Chain A
Amino acid sequence: MTEQKHDATDGKVWNLRLYIAGDSPKSRLALANLERMCERHLPGRYKIDVIDLVKTPELAKAHQILAIPTLVREVPEPIKRVIGDLSDESKALLNLDLDSLTTGSG
């Protein structure tokens, strides 16, 4: 399954950060979409930090966050960003290189 295609990741644990601003339908949808994708492509090898910028607005400045929700892949490098609720899964997958991890059937 996914283990066969770990050349891109060396089997490392993925570090993902999802920036949200308070509880909103978009944020909830983004988190649900992200978890579903990770479960499918990176089961057991991912870590998601949800950062609520309403509580820590200084992180928005420090991490150059503009759009909400924003997903940042910290590890593996290079750092990648996707903005939006991740409902366009193919675009999200492509940018996060998750697509290369998938087998034909998933």
Chain B
Amino acid sequence: MRQWLVMMVLAGVAALGSGCAFHRTVANAHFKDIDPSFITVGKTTVYDVLDRLGPPAPVSELSENFRLISDTHLCYVCYESRRTTFALGYVLFLPFCWEDGQMTDELLIEFDRDSGVVSSVTRTRQATVRPPLQGESARAPRQTQNLTPGLRR
């Protein structure tokens, strides 16, 4: 009797667990650790930056480019999302899905509109959490760093 019970519990766990999946998607991972130390504030131009780093790439759609590039800024974005799904696929399909998506690393390079040289560099880092296993309280505080004072002039 006890063996049957154990087997039924195991079968139940296997049936429930089969629908459980954890996803992590990272877009533009190569932008995550851009080193802006080559920039000289007031001297490096937008073309120098483009030659060195290439153009910013959108996370998912090309239409995003409008917000990443302008005559006064370039923004290099790394996007990460964590998704947990639990989908029971036995006759009655109950899809459970939790997702958190954040721009985990953004490097914002601003230019003087008239001269086209770098005027400031800012980096923002934001962590993702994995809902529902982690709530908002588990998220590390956003970090924003003004890198301009540390660059050459």
A binds B: no
B residues with CB within 8 A of A: none
A-side residues, CB < 8 A to B, are none
